[in-house]
């Protein structure tokens, strides 16, 4: 049994209860009543864990549960392996053993339209993706620190970290390759040096490895939580807690492939995710939060804040594009609305990064200022 919990601590009570509902615009968890309390200590959930990346070359064996009986084969696989898409599954089906890829149901090849039945054994062996190699580009980089082992980058908002379908160029990796050829070769060819990632519209601090040994050392620190990644987020509303530990699993949204979601049943794949939140300041109808990650799931802070009922301002995917409540000061309301529109993305920034140097063990700590549009909005709220 996995415990899915949001621990809340503060002056209001030792166990403050935070509630959420669809009417408040938050991201309701899949498989859960949206009016349930966020404090969930004894949930008897079985969650199928899956890496954020594609399945490994050894493949996976899935047994169809009753709840998925009657689904198309491609839909079933996508729901159980959140890193895939239906087009990717179709490519594996088309491979039919070529280049190692195949999908079998009870040992037999079927089309994507096959309707799976309860108890079917589905074996998935992905075929390798076509090679993608990033090309050097002369793009601006904000380098905070560098030596022969690593670089620390203050990534600009709006920049994708590495090439992917839809973003083949103009990424941080392209910029890094244009700056230096000394990057770790760990991982796939389109992600040299990348130890961890930030969303496109989330700016701030990232560490990049220059050697394979530094890459492994830094990744181990992230996995052991020795490396600290800290953020600030401006959210809608006023949480009823001073600090909270959000411990609920995250997986690919079952119907919207662009989104992630809190998954609270075994019907869909999800991974353990923990975010520590602290209220720094209350500002008009908003709150400034500090967030620290224990895990690094896709969109983690955005999903967890939305789940708790406090969507990040400007977040189009997770309920952050709300209507500003009526204010007595019409001019102030106009300035706030204009500043929110000027964000062009979520009000979330990676403000602090600390880790042990992979070469000499020295503890390094870096800080990043909030981007001007986010700081401007906060300043306007403070003035009011």
Q: CA-to-CA distance for 332 and 106, rounded, in angstroms? A: 64
> Catalytic one among 120, 154, 199, 201?
199
Q: At what angle do helices 372-383 and 330-341 cross, to 10 degrees?
A: 170
138 catalytically annotated: no
Backbone angles phi, psi at 347, to 5 degrees: -80, 70
3-state secondary structure of 14: coil
User: Do residues 171 and 198 lie in contact, with contact meaning Cβ atoms separated by under 8 Å?
Assistant: no
Alpha helices in the chain (DSSP H): 73-80, 86-95, 172-179, 212-223, 300-307, 330-341, 372-383
Q: Exposure string (b/e) for 156-167, b if CB count within 10 Å is 16 or more?
A: ebebbbbbeeee
First to last CA, the chain: 48
Half-sphere exposure of 107 (CA within 13 A, CB side): 0
- Quick one: which of 357, 310, 279 has its CA closest to 38? 310
Q: Strand 363-367 and strand 348-356: pairing? A: antiparallel
Q: CA-to-CA distance for 113 and 93, rounded, in angstroms? A: 11
Helices (H) and strands (E) in the chain, counts: 7, 15
For 209-235, the DSSP string reads ESSHHHHHHHHHHHHTT-SEEEEEEEE
Q: What is the DSSP letter of 68?
A: G
The residues that bridge with 167 in the sheet, in sequence order, are 164
103: Cα separation from own chain's centroid: 28
For residue 5 the two structure tokens come to 């919990």
Q: Tell me which residues are annotated as active site.
A: 199
């Amino acid at each position: 049994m996995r415990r899915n919990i949001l621990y809340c601590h503060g002056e209001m009570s030792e166990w403050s209860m935070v509630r959420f509902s669809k009417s408040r615009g938050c991201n309701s968890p899949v498989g859960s009543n949206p009016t349930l309390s966020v404090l969930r200590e004894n949930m008897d959930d079985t969650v199928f864990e899956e890496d954020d990346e594609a399945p490994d070359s050894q493949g996976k064996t899935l047994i169809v549960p009753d709840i998925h009986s009657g689904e198309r084969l491609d839909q079933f696989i996508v729901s159980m392996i959140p890193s895939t898409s239906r087009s990717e599954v179709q490519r594996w089906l088309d491979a039919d053993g070529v280049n190692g890829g195949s999908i079998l149901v009870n040992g037999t090849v079927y089309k994507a339209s096959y309707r799976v039945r309860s108890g079917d054994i589905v074996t998935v062996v992905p075929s390798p993706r076509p090679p993608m190699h990033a090309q050097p580009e002369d793009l601006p980089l904000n380098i905070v620190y560098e030596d022969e082992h690593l670089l620390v980058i203050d990534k600009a908002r709006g920049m994708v970290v590495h090439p992917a379908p839809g973003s083949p160029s103009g990424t941080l990796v392209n910029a890094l390759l244009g700056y230096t050829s000394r990057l770790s070769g760990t991982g796939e060819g389109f992600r040299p040096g990348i130890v961890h990632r930030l969303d496109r519209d989330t700016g701030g601090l990232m560490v990049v490895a220059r050697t394979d040994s530094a890459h492994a050392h830094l990744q181990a620190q992230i996995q052991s939580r020795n490396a600290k990644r800290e953020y600030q987020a401006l959210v809608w509303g006023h949480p009823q807690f001073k600090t909270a530990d959000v411990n609920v699993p995250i997986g690919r949204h079952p119907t919207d492939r662009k989104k992630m979601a809190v998954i609270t049943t075994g019907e869909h794949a999800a991974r353990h995710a923990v975010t520590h939140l602290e209220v720094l300041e209350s500002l008009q109808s908003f709150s400034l939060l500090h967030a620290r990650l224990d895990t690094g799931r896709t969109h983690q802070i955005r999903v967890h804040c939305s789940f708790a009922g406090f969507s990040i301002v400007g977040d189009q995917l997770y309920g952050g594009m709300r209507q500003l409540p009526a204010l007595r000061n019409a001019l102030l309301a106009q300035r706030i609305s204009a500043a929110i529109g000027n964000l062009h993305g979520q009000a979330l920034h990676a403000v602090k990064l600390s880790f042990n140097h992979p070469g000499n063990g020295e503890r390094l700590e870096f800080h990043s200022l909030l981007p001007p549009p986010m700081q401007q909005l906060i300043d306007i709220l403070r003035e009011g």
